[in-house]
């Protein structure tokens, strides 16, 4: 059974940094992309960043220049380095993996940015 476990969330003041990690406990065949989504209270889940199997990355406009996504294809790990955090970044961050067979989701990790 495949499980994605996020870690690295927490409370940080505006302008601070956090590094999120996502680890797959089981093997995933045919990964196409890995990414991070977030969901703030009363808002829909939105894509934050994604990285393809070819190491092409995408960022939503609100985090460009502040967040960096990276991955380890061999170990099925994905990271999100978040710098210059803003209160608007407060949300539960979810790891997502898209494979040839299906999509996988983690349980989420809370990121709270205080002003």
52 CA to centre of own chain: 13
Rounded Cα distance between 58 and 70, Å, is 11
Report pLDDT digits (tens) over 77-87.
999 999 999 99
Q: What is the pLDDT of residue 97?
A: 94
pLDDT band at 93 (very low <50, low <70, confident <90, very high): very high
**Could you tell me if 105 and 96 are in contact, meaning their C-beta atoms sit under 8 angstroms apart?**
yes
**Is residue 10's pLDDT more than 90?**
yes
Alpha-carbon span 23 to 46, nearest angstrom: 20
SS3 label, residue 62 = helix
pLDDT of residue 1: 84
Report the Cα–Cα distance between both ends of the chain, in Å, rounded. Answer: 40
């Amino acid at each position: 059974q495949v499980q994605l476990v996020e870690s690295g969330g927490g409370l940080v003041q505006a302008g601070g940094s956090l590094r999120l990690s996502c680890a797959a406990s089981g093997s995933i065949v045919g990964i196409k992309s890995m990414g991070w989504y977030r969901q703030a209270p009363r808002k829909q889940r939105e894509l934050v960043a994604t990285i393809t199997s070819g190491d092409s990355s995408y960022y939503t406009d609100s985090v460009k220049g502040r967040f960096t996504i990276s991955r380890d294809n061999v170990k099925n790990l994905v990271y999100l380095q978040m710098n210059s955090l803003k209160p608007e970044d407060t949300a539960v961050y979810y790891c997502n993996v898209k494979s040839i067979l299906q999509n996988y989701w983690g349980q989420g990790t809370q990121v709270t940015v205080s002003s």
